[in-house]
Amino acid sequence: MKWAGYRGELISDYYLRELPEKDYYIFHDLRYPSGHSHFQIDSLILTHYFALHLEIKNISGSISFNEDFRQIIQRKNDILKAYQDPIAQAGIHQRHLKKLMAGWGISDLPIINLVVFSKPSTILEAGANRAQISRNVCFAFELVERIELLRKFYLDEKLGSKEIKKLCKNLVKYHTTKCYDPLKFYNISPSKVITGVQCKTCFSFGMLRKHGSWICPKCGWKSKDAHVQAIYDYLFLLDSKISNRKCCEFLHLSSPFIANYLLSTMNLSHSGFNKDRFYFLSDS
């Protein structure tokens, strides 16, 4: 579902490019703390007159809205799946966003919700409350038309140039990136991660360090910096920091001095001294 959501945002972004940049400020994947948790905004479009919050869904098949239980039901290949009603979901995010902006001194900017289905082949079934649902839901190809209608409805300017620039800066400044753990996401044990340096020619693992170079024992490919990708893999997959000892273990090195040399030449951030030194990726 993460990849599907990303694909949906790409499709919506394609249509949003039609909007003039000087009048619309567009943000994607915003994430902010709220109490003990966080809330996330798929897309946010700012104007001097209103803010448009987009809840983007990249779901195929036939979708029916069940307002009694605040769900949508997907029918695809004779299989039923239920999801939280995106209209209700958008309302929750809208309340969080209003509270966040109020803390920045902005309380009278209208925030409109719109649920956007990215695939025009998706069949939407609104049921008895069709009129209300159609006001809150559209397809990606309708986005620009919907935004132009909103612009004709909201005529009073709520934010001046300085205010909207300040709001844009705050949206970027207070955005918090979600830490993504690929092993946990794909349910892979750290013990299953293949160690050693990978050959870029035959893709086998277990390159040997000899006379300042890495040599593949299978195909003979030679490299000075094949270890770099392996160390980045370790930092992204297994731990946010790496020591000389862990580097030796992961790269199959026999000498901590070689590990220290390799780590020190990668321009990584570090803390501690001697055997207690750790290397890590910089936040900047």
Of 93-102, 128-137, 160-169, 230-239, the poorest mean pLDDT is in 128-137
Query: Residue 180: what pLDDT?
Result: 65
Q: Contact at 8 Å (CB) between 118 and 58?
A: yes
The 3-state DSSP class for residue 64 equals strand
CA torsion angle 144 150 151 156 (round to 10): -160
Query: Are 29 and 42 within 8 A, CB to CB?
Result: yes
User: C-alpha 118: how far from its chain's center?
Assistant: 17
Tokens matching residue 120 = 């025009």
- Flag whether pLDDT at 269 surpasses 60: yes
25: tokens are 């400020």
Q: Rounded distance, CA 261 to CA 267, Å?
A: 11
The arithmetic mean of pLDDT across residues 241-256, rounded, is 93
Find residue 228's DSSP bridge partners. Answer: none
Using the CB atoms, write b or e for 180-193: b if 16+ within 10 Å: eeeeeeeeeeeeee
Query: Which among 7-11, 49-53, 233-237 has the top mean pLDDT?
Result: 49-53
Contacts of 183 by beta carbon, 8 Å cutoff, 6+ apart: 189, 190, 193, 237, 238
Q: Is the pLDDT confidence value at 120 over 70? A: yes
Band (5; pLDDT cuts 50, 70, 90): very low
Torsions phi, psi for 176 (to 5 deg): -120, 125
Percent of the chain with pLDDT over 70: 94
- Given this model, what pLDDT does residue 2 score? 39
pLDDT tens per residue, range 34-90? 887 889 998 999 999 999 999 999 888 999 998 888 899 999 999 999 999 999 999
pLDDT score recorded for residue 267: 84
- Mean pLDDT of the region 232-237: 90
Reported as a single tens digit per residue, the pLDDT across 145-200 is 999 999 999 999 999 999 999 999 999 899 887 666 778 777 888 899 999 999 99
- pLDDT at residue number 282: 62
Is the per-residue pLDDT at 4 higher than 60?
Answer: no
27 close to 43: Cβ distance less than 8 angstroms: yes
What average pLDDT does this structure show over 109-115? 97
- The pLDDT score that the predictor gives to residue 143 is 94
Which has more pLDDT, 12 or 205? 205
> Would you say 61 and 123 are in contact if contact means Cβ atoms under 8 Å apart?
yes
The whole-number pLDDT of residue 183 equals 82
Average pLDDT in the 201-210 region? Answer: 94
Task: Dump the DSSP string for 200-234.
Answer: TTT--B--EEETTEEE-TTT--EESSTHHHHHHHH
When pLDDT is cut at 50, 70 and 90, the band that residue 130 belongs to is confident
Mean pLDDT for all residues in the chain:
89
